């Protein structure tokens, strides 16, 4: 049976040890999700997920091709129309959700976790302009004894420009943030600090976050977003004293299995490491140096310049990996050749190589591997090679970029079941197979 909604997950508490906090991962629309209890929040279709994914990718590409030299954009007080889309950040639909505690006494909130975003925010009472429908009660800062607003004159307020791409605003001497995402979702509100509780033993007293007063968008019932990027305002940087900018996750193979998100800790013994690189136009993304792709055990004849001209990032919020056009056409040709005994069927949105497996009880799929400049090869798990709409429409889960200079994105379908270990202090990322087991 092919699981529906294989890309959207939800986190719950697992365990905690010294210098390490672990959260359990379950599918956002799967049977274990706390968001799944509310039947009024509809799960998207696969075509809808892929359409939203394309919006995210377009937004990443435009963000990386427009230099930030223009100085960003201005945020007017709690007024969404002035938060420009052109240089915004990106939320897609293949979102993974983490449940954390905010405030004193703590309130449980399900936040989308995103390695491609920096600022953390949640919807806040009194929702001065607007709040979208969320599963949990909306956070009320007036009910938290540990909440404090940040003043406009504070240097931390001006550092919002690099974290959001927008110049902060000011309302009655309180700092105002604004962030807009690729699919026209946005959040605008007050910038403040409060206590963030990850597990019963791991809490942080003053974490900077946005308290959204005007929020709209396709957040699937989640209360907001947890930013895991490389900017100094991300949760990874704010907790660096304890966790040394180390975090890891494993995204499960199906909606009925579980994975984890861990802050701190050490990598699996069988991890293969490759250096992190920095994309100059988007320094908060986690850059990687790709060097090749293999299909069915054979490395494809793709010039190394195809990868170096594009550059690459790994992103937890993009669903389908986006390859440089020359790399994708080589991958597709080789995959189609090795899969020639199965009948092709119509495309699914951006996925152009789809098969009808109605008449098969078992299928044989060629392995796909990614090569990095450090010399390592990372095998994509079988669950990360195909994307199923139904048994009669199962597609190669990769897509090509339209331009050779658009950044290569290592998406979350291809990350399934790998332990992905980010070591920001040492500047490297590790991959280990069977990470969720």
Which residues are the active-site residues?
A: 114, 315
DSSP 360: -
What is the CB neighbour count within 10 angstroms for residue 303? 11
Tokens 């600090």 identify what position? 193
Could you tell me which of 236, 225, 10 has the C-alpha nearest to residue 121?
A: 225
SS3 308: helix
User: Which residues have C-beta within 8 Å of that of residue 241, sequence separation ≥ 6?
Assistant: none
Tokens 């010399």 identify what position? 375
Residue 235: φ, ψ to 5°: -65, -35
**Integer angstrom CA distances of residue 225 from 245, 390, 418, 419, 428:** 18, 30, 23, 22, 24
362 token code pair:
């078992």
Could you tell me which of 69, 80, 135 has the C-alpha nearest to residue 107?
A: 135
C-alpha count within 13 angstroms, C-beta hemisphere, residue 125: 10
Tokens 């069988």 identify what position? 270
377 token code pair:
């090869």
DSSP 70: G
Distance CA 2, CA 9 (A): 16
407 token code pair:
């950044």
């Amino acid at each position: 049976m092919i699981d529906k909604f294989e890309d959207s997950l939800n986190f719950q508490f697992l365990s905690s040890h010294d210098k390490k906090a672990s959260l359990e991962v379950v599918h956002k629309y799967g049977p274990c999700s706390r968001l799944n209890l509310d039947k009024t929040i509809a799960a998207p279709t696969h075509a809808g997920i892929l359409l939203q994914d394309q919006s995210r990718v377009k937004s990443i590409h435009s963000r990386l091709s427009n230099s930030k030299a223009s100085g960003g954009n201005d945020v007017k007080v709690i007024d969404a129309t002035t938060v420009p889309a052109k240089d915004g950040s990106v939320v897609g639909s293949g979102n993974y959700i983490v449940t954390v505690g905010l405030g004193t006494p703590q309130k449980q909130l399900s936040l989308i976790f995103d390695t491609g975003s920096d600022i953390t925010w949640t919807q806040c009472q009194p929702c001065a302009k607007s709040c979208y429908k969320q599963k949990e009660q909306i956070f009320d800062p007036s009910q938290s004894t540990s909440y404090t607003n940040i003043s406009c004159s504070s240097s931390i307020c001006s550092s919002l420009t690099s974290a959001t791409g927008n110049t902060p605003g000011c309302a009655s001497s309180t700092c105002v943030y604004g962030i807009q995402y690729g699919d026209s979702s946005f959040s605008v509100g007050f910038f403040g600090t409060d206590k963030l509780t990850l597990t019963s033993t791991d809490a942080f007293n003053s974490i900077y976050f946005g308290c959204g007063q005007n929020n709209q968008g396709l957040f699937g019932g989640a209360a907001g977003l947890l930013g895991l990027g490389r900017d100094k305002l991300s949760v990874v940087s704010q907790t660096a004293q304890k966790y040394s900018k180390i975090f890891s996750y494993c995204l499960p193979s199906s909606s009925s299995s579980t994975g984890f998100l861990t802050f701190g800790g050490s990598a699996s013994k069988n991890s293969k490491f490759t250096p992190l690189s920095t994309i100059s136009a988007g320094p908060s993304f986690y850059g990687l140096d790709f060097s090749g792709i293999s299909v069915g055990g054979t490395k494809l004849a793709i010039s190394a310049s195809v990868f170096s001209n594009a550059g690459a990032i790994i992103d937890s919020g993009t669903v389908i990996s986006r390859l440089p056009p020359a790399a994708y056409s080589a991958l597709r040709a080789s995959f189609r050749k090795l899969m020639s005994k199965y009948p092709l069927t119509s495309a699914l949105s951006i996925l152009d190589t789809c098969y009808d497996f109605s008449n098969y009880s078992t299928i044989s799929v060629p392995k796909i591997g990614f090569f990095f400049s450090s010399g390592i090869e990372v095998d994509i798990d079988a669950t990360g090679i195909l994307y199923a709409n139904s048994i009669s429409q199962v597609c190669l889960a990769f897509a090509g970029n339209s331009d050779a200079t658009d950044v290569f994105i290592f998406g979350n379908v291809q990350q399934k079941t790998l332990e992905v270990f980010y070591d920001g202090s040492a500047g490297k990322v590790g991959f280990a197979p069977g990470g969720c087991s």
